[in-house]
Structure 1
Amino acid sequence: MIDPASISTIHVLKGPDGSLYGANSGGVIRIQPKGFGIQQNQGYLLLNGGSFGLFQEQLSIQRKISDTYAFSIDQSFTRSDGYRENTTLNKKTFQTAHKWQYTKHNELKFIALYTDLGYLTPGGLTESQMQENPRMARPASGSMPSATEQKAGIYNRTFFGGIAHNARISERLSHTVSVFGSHTDFENPFITNYEFREEKNLGIRTYFSYRNVDQEQFQWQMQFGFEGQKGWNRIDNYDNEQGTATVPQAKDNLNNTQSSVFYRAMINLHRRWTIEASLGLNRVKINYTQRYPEVSDPDGSIGFGNIWMPRIATSYILREGLALRGSISKGYSPPTIAEVRSSDNIINTDLEAETGVNYEIGIRWETTARRFIADVSLYNYNMDNGIVRHLRDNGAEFYINAGEIKQKGIEVSIWAYLLPMQPDRFIRTLSFQSAASYNHYRFGNYQVNDNDFSRNKVTAVPDWVWTNSLFITFPKQMGLNISHNFTSAMPLNDANSVFSNKFHLIQLKGSWNWRINQLFQIEFFTGVDNLLNEKYSLGNDINAFGNRFFNPAPTRNYYGGAKLSF
């Protein structure tokens, strides 16, 4: 729902972290919107077009009105006919962010986001159907109509807003409180039903932060706080007759409550050794009411207990440019509303939360001036009650706990700035990034009815992923980006009887910047995606009934456009 152009930065925190972020099992993604760190007035207008009917427009404006007030406005429109039948996309977004420091020690932040998103869903194909015509939508089968006949698609209109207040009580003590909420109208005409969802969410987050950072050899800080969220979800399903909702199938209300109390402390000794410890107490509960069809006991609740999430981590600088790190943390992730009440219209009261303990060690090396950076990490995460997606014979999805999932992996990354800026060379700058991960993910004890999937590879996880990026700048403000992605074969069902094909993707993008005057600059760009014209599948339907696993991805395609900055 978020337009990438409206994002300032993204921070990825790997592994469970219950210190400030509530329940999670795999890690945390922190998205910082534009508008909160503006240093100067700027903006741009982008127009882009490409293969398969792609058209994109983006407008971004950031303004620093004074030393105490700044804001941003981001608007976008994207449409595409799509590669396959029944894949038309239409997306409109509007986002605004404001920061106001109304006194020397107090500031307010506000953000609002509205998205109107609609796209058609083609459905999965069998391998033979994909080879016959990869651009087809899911055809009719037996008594089941086709995706095109049912006008299968997703329509999502969401408003999200939040306001945060930060007060510096003293030089060392500060307090932050934020209130946020969202409202979503969701429609999903599917092959077997037509679903309407109304989702409302409201939350509050507050914490105190104490920092003692004025000592040279001993610095420490801590945070203590609370976060609570409440959700109201109204879900109605009807028969779908060629894109029209008719006879009711099921109507339910599901209200979820989440709360988290957290504490985090971090110590830095002699600017060389950092120790961090945190503890979070999480509680999640879902109350439900079955409104249709009528049942003898329509009300119920699902509780996932009070779960502690401890974490301890440390890093040590052996010498300048070389550091070791390690962490131990517990993960906890309760089922979502969409997993408890999935598209089969059944409220699953048997699902349990995912839990597990993650162990990780790593080393990082940097040369002088950071011309070359290398990072290696190893982790071992044993998860209990892993939640796995399955599909019924009519295509409706449901979820079960898979028992143990043993996740071991190695991640290696390098950044190399091969040629620093040299104005007298044909190649002005040259930099290279590469990242590889090996994922040894295996089921532990996992049995469904008479089927034993123990020790099989975890569904939809490739053993290897390898990405490379090369950035080159030439004279006259010309540039070239080359990206490569290799993904190995991955199992598409828990039985490991069907695998996707491995693939290599190469993307090229060339650009030329022309400064018109002191106020305006224009960038012309063009690119090609899937340069090798690979035949591959993305967004696979795992554990699909009738072997309809595959969603063919676009073949070689092109784009080009212009970006006017001011």
Structure 2
Amino acid sequence: MIKVILLLSILCALRPAWVSAQTNIHEHGSDNVDEQAKENEKVELESIEIIAHFDKQAILGLTASAQTITAEQIEAQQTTTFLPAINSIAGIRMEQRAPGSYRLAMRGSLIRSPFGIRNAKIYVDEFPLTDAGGNTYLNLIDPASVASIHVLKGPDGSLYGANSGGVIRMQPKGFDVFQNQGSISSNAGSYGLFQEQWSIQRRVNDDYAFSIDQSFTRSDGYRDHSALNKKTVQTAHKWRYANHKEIRFLVLYSDLHYQTPGGLTESQRQANPRLSRQATAFTPSAIEQKAGIYNTTFFGGITHESHLSDKLTHSLSLFGSNTDFENPFITNYEFRKEKNAGLRTYFSYKNSNHQNAQWQMQWGLETQKGWNNLENYDNNQGRPADLQTKDDLNNHQTSLFYRVMVDLYNRWTIEASMGLNQVEINYTSLKPIFEKGNIDFGNILMPRVASSFSFTDDLAIRASVSKGYSPPTIAEVRSSDNTINTELEPETGTNYEVGLRWEPINKNWYTDLTVYQLDMDNGIVRQVNQAGAEYFVNAGEIKQKGFEATISAFLISPNDERLIQSLNLQSALTYNHYRFGKYQVEDNDYSRNKVTAVPEWVWTNTLSLSLAKQVGLNISHNYTSTMPLNDANTVYSDAFHLIQLKGTWDLNLSSSKQVQLFTGIDNLLNEAYSLGNDINAFGNRYFNPAATRNYYAGVQMSF
């Protein structure tokens, strides 16, 4: 079967359809209405459309919980980080333990997150950023180079390979260029922050467009030993070389270095939250060992799209990456060389001959291969010394998928999909002893059945049942304790979900409600040994129940004649009722405890205010409740309210050139909080204090 699909893929070609959503504002009226009518004129939100599961459709009838973040939302706050934008989505939580050190969880905890991403599959356009070993270096991406972010929540392994939390697609600038444009920006702020970015997007003709994005970011960091230095260059090209045939091409180069200050105890945090990890009688300090991350990565891919007929299309994507990774740690100095290559291809057949009964189906595969060379040396104050361990791990994962969808009377959508997933790791230990082995997680079927029914033109309900599957990543099988763990089992579980969407006819507001339950077996949990090195164990069953609510509305409809021209509110509420099932580690019984690193409540709000004279103000609020930091539930983080402000003033220099002056405040309330905690930390070093109130300002020229 695989050989047949591969052969057909190479002979044909097409572009995949995916998650692309855009919310635009437009005014309804007539050129002949009087001023009073204009003043009372309603401004509407266009119906949101999302290309999910290979087809573009209105979000009202979508069978999955989904959301889109636009470039405007990313730029509404500080552009050095994705945090404010991504945290505005219900059910997703992003943390940053130090500048550049991201962690992200979709409908889950951060109890397993060696390289930041838990249970999610992330793509850049059609190219998986999540590598063959399951690691995702999200911090390589510059936020200003992203045109939009599209999110599908809940297990979707039937179509996108191993995941149990959901799928994220980041759409780069350059693939949808409608006019020539560019920008240059620079900003500086507290704690040595400096950033410069420039972007050029050109539409050469009707058939060819491209973009080039470059950025440089540095920061000294709030805490001792938390500096960041990051350089990125990205280029994307789209070429329609013949009727119904096009090529998309993406290359990203990122050179990233950030220091890792390490966790503090509660007493250290109270005495001086700006400290880095201190030395003990057994281990040196983070500063002594020059603890940090060095990551130089080339990432790229090419997609070919071909419409073979008015009903049949084909997509073929080739992608790969090369990473040089260094990690001086407290107890060792690690070098990793990681190479990845892969292919994603599918056929799509759509039949719209009958107006009241339309159907489509897709079938294809995604396969990835990874080669990982890992060497660990003694760390002699930031310099590698004697060799400790040397291992080669090669991994391979493949997903075969099939989907069928039927749309009846443009009201009732029924879809079913099935993925056959296989993950395998071959390892060779060369030091301290020679050992070869194979870890085969076997073949697993991942079905999904879903339906959406529109009662009226503005109200729809949906329901789905899907299986989640998340095998251990390379970084969990061979974690920082430098041993290969052959005992870890994949996480598996079945997700039951119902939801309601309401989008009134006048479309000046939108709401989405979701309730789900995911019973996870063999949950993978992070543990830390006496030296501070992490390792992972299976925790048995984890019961995950959740509620998510999202609303977007114009509190004041746009009108250029007023002082307050518009006021928009976006609010997202998340409730997590996550509990361990039967879970025991040695003599410690953690059964029925709250799941580590999961806050029960998260509430985010964003107010966007437009004033006369092209002045704007964006206010972002994030409330996160307390959460347990260890499996025993004996240590909790503090709840916090984080408020961020950004003000802008746009000046028109000419019809084609504009300047924007902006300034912002982070942590307006001067909260003492930790935006990224260390879980099950040895020696009670749980806390990574975030910056107190700080400021930034900058300028951007658009042309």
Give the Å deviation of 1:416: 1.1
The correspondence for 1:475, drawn from 612, 619, 628, is 612
Look up the match of 1:348. 485
Paired residue secondary structure (1:130): helix
In the alignment, residue 596 of structure 2 is paired with which amino acid? T
Look up the match of 2:194. 55
Q: Provide the C-alpha distance between the structure 2 equivalents of 1:247 and 1:391, rounded to a whole number of angstroms.
A: 24
Kindly indicate whether residue 240 of structure 2 is the aligned counterpart of residue 101 of structure 1. yes
Give the Å deviation of 1:367: 1.8
Q: Provide the C-alpha distance between the structure 1 equivalents of 2:348 and 2:601, rounded to a whole number of angstroms.
A: 41
Paired residue secondary structure (1:146): coil
Kindly indicate whether residue 179 of structure 2 is the aligned counterpart of residue 36 of structure 1. no
- Matched ranges for 1:281-320 at <5 A: 281-295=420-434, 298-320=435-457
Give the Å deviation of 1:213: 2.9
Give the Å deviation of 1:418: 1.5
The correspondence for 1:115, drawn from 254, 257, 261, is 254
Look up the match of 1:80. 219
Kindly indicate whether residue 627 of structure 2 is the aligned counterpart of residue 490 of structure 1. yes
Give the Å deviation of 1:19: 3.2
Q: Provide the C-alpha distance between the structure 2 equivalents of 1:214 and 1:511, rounded to a whole number of angstroms.
A: 51
Residues 338, 371 of structure 2: 8 Å contact kept: yes
Q: Provide the C-alpha distance between the structure 2 equivalents of 1:315 and 1:299, rounded to a whole number of angstroms.
A: 50
Look up the match of 1:243. 382
Look up the match of 1:457. 594
Look up the match of 2:335. 196
Alpha-carbon displacement from aligned partner over 1:87-143 (angstroms, at most 9, x marks no partner): 010000010010111000211110000100000000000000000000000110002
Alpha-carbon displacement from aligned partner over 1:161-196 (angstroms, at most 9, x marks no partner): 101111110000011111100000000000000000
In the alignment, residue 425 of structure 2 is paired with which amino acid? I
Give the Å deviation of 1:440: 0.2
Give the Å deviation of 1:421: 1.7
Q: Provide the C-alpha distance between the structure 2 equivalents of 1:422 and 1:294, rounded to a whole number of angstroms.
A: 73
Residues 660, 700 of structure 2: 8 Å contact kept: yes
Q: Share of identical aligned residues, percent?
A: 65
Give the Å deviation of 1:215: 3.3
Q: Provide the C-alpha distance between the structure 1 equivalents of 2:500 and 2:203, rounded to a whole number of angstroms.
A: 40
Residues 158, 420 of structure 2: 8 Å contact kept: no
Give the Å deviation of 1:307: 0.4
- Matched ranges for 1:381-392 at <5 A: 381-392=518-529
Kindly indicate whether residue 415 of structure 2 is the aligned counterpart of residue 276 of structure 1. yes
Look up the match of 2:405. 266
In the alignment, residue 306 of structure 2 is paired with which amino acid? A
In the alignment, residue 35 of structure 1 is paired with which amino acid? G
Paired residue secondary structure (1:550): coil
Residues 159, 418 of structure 2: 8 Å contact kept: no
Q: Provide the C-alpha distance between the structure 1 equivalents of 2:519 and 2:449, rounded to a whole number of angstroms.
A: 17
Look up the match of 1:548. 685
TM-score by length of 2: 0.80
Q: Provide the C-alpha distance between the structure 2 equivalents of 1:254 and 1:562, rounded to a whole number of angstroms.
A: 47
Q: Count the aligned residue pairs.
A: 564
Q: Provide the C-alpha distance between the structure 1 equivalents of 2:235 and 2:510, rounded to a whole number of angstroms.
A: 36
Flag the structure with higher helix content. Answer: 2
Residues 551, 571 of structure 2: 8 Å contact kept: yes
- Matched ranges for 1:161-176 at <5 A: 161-176=300-315
Look up the match of 2:667. 530
Paired residue secondary structure (2:354): coil
Residues 467, 493 of structure 2: 8 Å contact kept: yes
Q: Provide the C-alpha distance between the structure 2 equivalents of 1:51 and 1:275, rounded to a whole number of angstroms.
A: 52
The runs of 5 or more residues in structure 1 that have no matched partner are none
Q: Provide the C-alpha distance between the structure 2 equivalents of 1:388 and 1:127, rounded to a whole number of angstroms.
A: 23
Kindly indicate whether residue 153 of structure 2 is the aligned counterpart of residue 14 of structure 1. yes
Query: What RMSD in Å do the two structures reach over aligned CA positions?
Result: 0.8
Paired residue secondary structure (2:476): helix
Residues 450, 464 of structure 2: 8 Å contact kept: yes
Look up the match of 1:140. 279
Q: Provide the C-alpha distance between the structure 2 equivalents of 1:317 and 1:176, rounded to a whole number of angstroms.
A: 31
Paired residue secondary structure (2:160): coil
In the alignment, residue 409 of structure 1 is paired with which amino acid? G
Give the Å deviation of 1:214: 4.6
Paired residue secondary structure (2:158): coil
Paired residue secondary structure (2:159): coil
Alpha-carbon displacement from aligned partner over 1:523-548 (angstroms, at most 9, x marks no partner): 00001000000001122110011100
Q: Provide the C-alpha distance between the structure 1 equivalents of 2:345 and 2:621, rounded to a whole number of angstroms.
A: 43
Alpha-carbon displacement from aligned partner over 1:408-437 (angstroms, at most 9, x marks no partner): 000011111121221221100011111101
Q: Provide the C-alpha distance between the structure 2 equivalents of 1:392 and 1:143, rounded to a whole number of angstroms.
A: 12
Kindly indicate whether residue 497 of structure 2 is the aligned counterpart of residue 338 of structure 1. no
Q: Provide the C-alpha distance between the structure 2 equivalents of 1:214 and 1:30, rounded to a whole number of angstroms.
A: 31
Kindly indicate whether residue 235 of structure 2 is the aligned counterpart of residue 90 of structure 1. no
Residues 306, 314 of structure 2: 8 Å contact kept: yes
The runs of 5 or more residues in structure 2 that have no matched partner are 1-139
Q: Provide the C-alpha distance between the structure 2 equivalents of 1:50 and 1:215, rounded to a whole number of angstroms.
A: 59
- Matched ranges for 1:389-538 at <5 A: 389-538=526-675
Give the Å deviation of 1:18: 2.1
Query: Relative CO higher for 1 or 2, CA cutoff 8 Å, sep ≥ 6?
Result: 2
Q: Provide the C-alpha distance between the structure 2 equivalents of 1:107 and 1:366, rounded to a whole number of angstroms.
A: 35
Q: Provide the C-alpha distance between the structure 2 equivalents of 1:214 and 1:46, rounded to a whole number of angstroms.
A: 50
Alpha-carbon displacement from aligned partner over 1:450-482 (angstroms, at most 9, x marks no partner): 111110011000000000011110111000111
The correspondence for 2:297, drawn from 152, 155, 158, is 158
Paired residue secondary structure (2:683): helix
Residues 390, 398 of structure 1: 8 Å contact kept: yes
Give the Å deviation of 1:294: 2.2
Alpha-carbon displacement from aligned partner over 1:186-236 (angstroms, at most 9, x marks no partner): 000000000000000000111101111353211111110011110000000
Paired residue secondary structure (1:20): helix
Residues 283, 531 of structure 2: 8 Å contact kept: yes
Q: Provide the C-alpha distance between the structure 2 equivalents of 1:160 and 1:145, rounded to a whole number of angstroms.
A: 35
Alpha-carbon displacement from aligned partner over 1:8-60 (angstroms, at most 9, x marks no partner): 11111111112321111111111111111111111100101100000001111
Flag the structure with higher strand content. Answer: 1
Residues 18, 278 of structure 1: 8 Å contact kept: no
Give the Å deviation of 1:387: 0.8
Give the Å deviation of 1:499: 0.3
Give the Å deviation of 1:276: 1.2
Q: Provide the C-alpha distance between the structure 2 equivalents of 1:165 and 1:416, rounded to a whole number of angstroms.
A: 39
In the alignment, residue 202 of structure 2 is paired with which amino acid? R
Alpha-carbon displacement from aligned partner over 1:487-528 (angstroms, at most 9, x marks no partner): 000000000000000000001111000010012101000010
